[in-house]
């Protein structure tokens, strides 16, 4: 019995020793397989400072075409629309009848009013004769005369309303909207349609204070548009606003003929080339600092030893440099090389 106990203890000791060795060996193997710890890697880059430079900038402004004339046609009387004499897109001339409002009730009222005027006229004549023979009072004659004048005024108003029921075009042009249909009831001052006159074009652009003093009324302006990229139009400055708006810009209007073989429509964007150059302070950066195309431009800005990605808007290119319209300020430090190894927040080492 004593020998069995000794043998059991020896076996337990051997098993425990083997287990200890296995655990120790696994720990050593795991430590060898772990990657070596390294410190933070600093990506080498080169940088430059964003500077403000004076450049000669061409005076080309983007404007929008507006109708030469545009008129809203309103109903001057109320009633049901008896006839509509136009369709969307029709060319109409000034004075052309566009719609007729039902006037049957007004005509009945006019007949009653005319009959009343005739009766009152006879009464006035009768009482005037009686007054001469001292058979009527002056007060009675005055009352009849006042009533007679009021009836005449009512008849004139009814005639005017009947005339106004024929709605005519206040200007020539193209029908741009149609807000009613035949049979609909319209009230006074309700809009019937709008007429857009595109026989000429009116381009509206806004100029800064420095720019507006370089142009004069009557100046010829070259106009281009993306709709007809191979053509240009010549316009004339017809208006320069005497007062700036809240953004301190001045409205300038340019008139041009609308050519039949290349017609333009209201709302089209137009580039107005004033053939002038102005010296302006603009932000410039090297073209190589951009991370993407000019349509989706971004740069890395240095902040606290890190590369911080920032979206920007760019303008005109000047050789190897490009204008920054928004997103940077003078004095910002930007990365010009090494961007391929960077992401937002990467630690960097600026090479001298």
* Domain housing 107: 103-164
Query: Per the domain annotation, does 4 fall within a domain?
Result: no
Cα 123 to Cα 113: distance, rounded to the nearest angstrom: 15
Cα–Cα distance, 2 to 10 (Å, whole number) = 13
Q: And the tokens for 99?
A: 């719609």
Residue 338 within a domain: yes
Candidate ranges 58-62, 68-72, 102-106, 343-347; pick with highest mean pLDDT: 343-347
In a domain, 176, yes or no: no
**Does residue 246 contact residue 194 with C-beta atoms inside 8 Å?**
no
In a domain, 85, yes or no: no
Question: Which residue carries 């019937």 as its tokens?
Answer: 192
pLDDT on residue 254: 93
Q: Are residues 270 and 311 in the same domain?
A: no
Q: What is the pLDDT of residues 137-185, one digit of tens each?
A: 888 888 888 998 998 998 898 888 888 888 898 888 888 888 888 888 9
Residue 23 lies in a domain: no
CATH of the domain at 109: 1.10.287
**Could you read off the pLDDT of 188-225 as tens digits, one per residue?**
888 889 888 877 888 999 988 877 888 899 999 989 88
Domain with residue 272: its CATH number is 2.40.30.170
Among 263, 271, 339, 273, residue whose Cα is nearest residue 301 = 339
Residue 211 or residue 98, greater confidence: 98
What's the confidence (pLDDT) of residue 36? Answer: 47
Query: Domain for residue 97, yes or no?
Result: no
> Same structural domain for residues 273 and 303?
no
- Our count of domains for the chain comes to 3
Range 8-27 average pLDDT: 66
pLDDT tens-digit series, residues 283-293: 888 888 888 77
Per the domain annotation, does 321 fall within a domain?
yes
Q: Looking at the structure, do residues 306 and 261 belong to the same domain, yes or no?
A: no
pLDDT, residue 214, reads 82
Is 214 inside any structural domain?
A: yes
Same domain for 259 and 208, yes or no, is yes
Would you place residue 340 in the very low, low, confident or very high pLDDT band (cuts 50, 70, 90)?
confident
Q: In a 10 Å sphere around its CB, with 0-12 CB exposed, 13-18 middle and 19+ buried, how is residue 345 labelled?
A: exposed
- What's the pLDDT at 309? 92
Question: Between 149 and 57, where is the model more confident?
Answer: 149
Q: Is the pLDDT of residue 37 over 70?
A: no
CATH number, domain of 53, equals: 2.40.420.20
Biggest distance spanned by C-alpha atoms of the chain: 171
């Amino acid at each position: 019995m004593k020998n069995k106990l000794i043998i059991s203890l020896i076996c337990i000791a051997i098993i425990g020793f083997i287990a200890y060795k296995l655990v120790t060996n696994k720990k050593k193997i795991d430590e060898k397989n772990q990657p070596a710890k390294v410190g933070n890697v600093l990506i080498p880059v080169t940088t430059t400072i964003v500077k403000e430079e004076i450049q000669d900038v061409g005076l080309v402004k983007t404007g929008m075409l507006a109708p030469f004339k545009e008129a809203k046609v309103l109903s001057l009387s109320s009633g049901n629309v008896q006839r509509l004499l136009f369709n969307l897109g029709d060319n109409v001339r000034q004075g052309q009848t566009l719609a007729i409002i039902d006037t049957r009730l007004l005509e009945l009222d006019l007949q009653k009013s005319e009959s009343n005027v005739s009766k009152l006229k006879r009464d006035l004549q009768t009482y005037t004769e009686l007054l001469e023979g001292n058979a009527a009072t002056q007060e009675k004659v005055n009352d009849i005369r006042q009533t007679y004048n009021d009836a005449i005024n009512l008849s004139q108003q009814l005639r005017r309303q009947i005339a106004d029921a024929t709605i005519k075009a206040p200007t020539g042009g193209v029908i741009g909207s149609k807000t009613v249909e035949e049979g609909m009831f319209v009230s006074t001052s309700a809009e019937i349609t709008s007429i857009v006159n595109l026989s000429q074009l009116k381009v509206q652009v806004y100029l800064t204070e420095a720019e507006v003093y370089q142009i004069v009324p009557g100046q010829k302006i070259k106009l281009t548009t993306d709709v007809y990229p191979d053509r240009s139009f010549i316009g004339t400055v017809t208006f320069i606003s005497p007062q700036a708006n809240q953004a301190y810009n001045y409205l300038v209007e340019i008139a041009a003929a609308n050519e039949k073989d290349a017609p333009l429509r209201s709302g089209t964007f137009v580039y107005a080339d004033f053939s002038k150059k102005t010296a302006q302070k603009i932000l410039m950066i090297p073209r190589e600092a951009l991370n993407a195309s000019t349509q989706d431009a971004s740069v890395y800005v240095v902040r606290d030893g890190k590369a911080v990605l920032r979206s920007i808007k760019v303008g005109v290119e000047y050789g190897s440099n490009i204008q920054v319209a928004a997103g940077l300020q003078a004095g910002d430090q930007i990365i010009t090389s090494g961007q391929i190894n960077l992401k937002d927040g990467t630690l960097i080492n600026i090479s001298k």
